Chain A
Amino acid sequence: MIYQPELECMSRDELRALQTERLKETVRWEYDHVALYRERMDEAGVSPEDIKTFDDITKLPFTEKEDLRKEFPFGLLAVPREEIVRIQGSSGTTGHPIVVGYTEGDVDVWSEMVARAMCAAGATKEDIVQVAYGYGLFTGGLGAHQGATEIGAMVIPMSSGNTQRQIMMMRELGATMLCCTPSYAIYLGETAREMGLVPGVDLKLKSGVFGAEPWTEEMRAKLEDVLGIDAYDIYGLTEIAGPGVAFECPEKHGMHVNEDHVIIECIDPVTGKHQPAGTPGELVFTTITKKGQPAIRYRTHDICTLDDSPCACGRTTVRMGRITGRTDDMLVIRGVNVFPSQIESILVGVKGASPHYLLEVDRINSTDALTVKVEMAPDMAVDAISSIENLRNTIADQIKSVVGIKAKVQLVAPKSIARSEGKAKRVIDKRKL
């Protein structure tokens, strides 16, 4: 189902025209009302009048999370404080919190975006939507709540945690849809089964919208199986709105970006230039319908690939793939951007290899050399030279074709690459630049 076909399915030309008009208004609005944007634009020698076409967006300076930290709490508001009806934010894994202010209109825009996501997952007024995201400054709980309310569904605002009680309410009230993180959804399903409940019999769930953390197709299969539902992905970030910036349709082949509300760009993180469609790059968002705290060219540092080919569902909006990494992990080798996540996705698909690896970059005779150390899978046969050489060549060939550079692959014993708590160390850069 498509919530607003007139907006979600308009021709690309109409959409570009709408985006351009809204971009011009937003840039003017920000320039007139927010000191930081005005200073940045003046420094860059660009004025609101210079933004005439869609492509003129590239003339605008970028903004960063650091700007939200520095201007905390109200420095980036483009309206008087009393026009703000809501604050959402994040504690920030790196320390200082950030907050974003919403006008009443901004909350409506956000709700509309989530409503589209819910509708794509099959939500109607008949549905009973259990929201098991945390409610609070975090945008998950209230975002899902508003989206479901916008559609007219009945919301069970459970918030996160208290798993037994979640399942009891889900069963007693006959929840038909679930919104939470994918990992919590799996946990809910496993717990329900441990309690002896049979999805489809004791539980009436038919679908769910899951986000706020990266997940894989394997997790989707597990989640759909354990709860007996259709699982949809949703993407968002507080700085732009919250969940609903992009969402999956029933094709489940990328997330449709709500392009009438945001402009998405995919850039080379080093040069800042646009990547061709299908090439991974950093996502950059510009809000074009918000008034309280709009964002212009906000750099997410999330790495992703965009797909602008037509989708079978009828929506014309561009689709973003899963987030595959962060720019902080990116390496530039012989002028090619290399993301460790690309190597990881190759290794997951090669039999005999494990996704534990280390990239070593060195400069030998003024040429960058990449060595990829890969742990063999514990069941890899190591008695014949040929099977080991085949494995090594397969990995090297795939790196060449996917990443575009020649790498020396070195196979190592299982468990021989150091595991660290939390974030694994994937890169050793020995180049002295």
Chain B
Amino acid sequence: MAIMSDYKYIQQVSVYLENKEGTLVNLLEIVGAKGVNLLAMSIADTTDFGIARLVVATEDQAILMEELDAHDMFARINDVVGIGVEHKPGGLAKVLATVRGSGQQIEYAYSIISGSEGQAAIVMQTSDNEACMEALAKAGITLLSNDDLK
């Protein structure tokens, strides 16, 4: 789902994990061995399989994809919404109200390990990312790209 957007957005690497012992550790070791730092991560799991969603610096993406492919791990890059959130009670709720107001559904969301200064940050996938970002931008909410994360 490439966005071709005027707005800033985040690229995430999603890795399909078969339900076998040690797959997650293997994945993280592969990432670490190449000196790639994780800026954000989320694990979704079911009884049969899991998904690891990773956000890394733009310059690390190609290295990571190549390395995952070399280890026969199935990974895809897709575009998601990145938002800066005030780091205080109710900060996220305020943002999500805007999303709801735009009529979009959130499919999944997770927080970014290190946001930009003074802010927390989250990543989310919605039913229509472009429409969602338009609404967020209009509401004056900060949109983020990989390069905004340190």
- A residues with a Cβ closer than 8 A to B are 376, 380-386, 388-389, 392, 410-416
Contact = CB atoms under 8 A, between A and B. Distances in A.
User: Among B46, B49, B107, which residue has the most Cβ atoms of chain A within 10 A?
Assistant: B49
A382 B14 contact: yes
Contacts of B73: 413
A388 B76 contact: no
A79 B72 CA distance: 62
Given A381-B78, A413-B73, 20 more contacts: A381-B14, A382-B14, A382-B15, A382-B74, A382-B76, A383-B14, A383-B51, A383-B80, A388-B16, A388-B49, A388-B51, A389-B46, A410-B49, A411-B16, A412-B74, A413-B18, A413-B72, A415-B72, A416-B72, A416-B74
Interface string B43-80: 01010110101000000000000000000111110101
A414 B108 CA distance: 24
User: Among B1, B76, B78, which residue has the most Cβ atoms of chain A within 10 A?
Assistant: B76
B75 to A, nearest CB: 8
A183 B54 CA distance: 45
Nearest to A410: B48
Contact of B46 (A376, A383, A385, A416): A385
Interface of B: 1, 12, 14-16, 18, 44, 46, 48-49, 51, 53, 72-76, 78, 80, 107-108, 125
A388 B46 CA distance: 11
Given A381-B76, A382-B74, A383-B76, A413 B107 contact: no
B76 A386 contact: no
5 contacts: A383-B12, A383-B51, A383-B108, A388-B49, A414-B74
Contacts of B107: 384, 386
Contacts of B46: 385, 389
A381 B76 CA distance: 7
5 closest pairs, A vs B, by CB? A413-B74, A383-B14, A382-B16, A382-B14, A383-B78
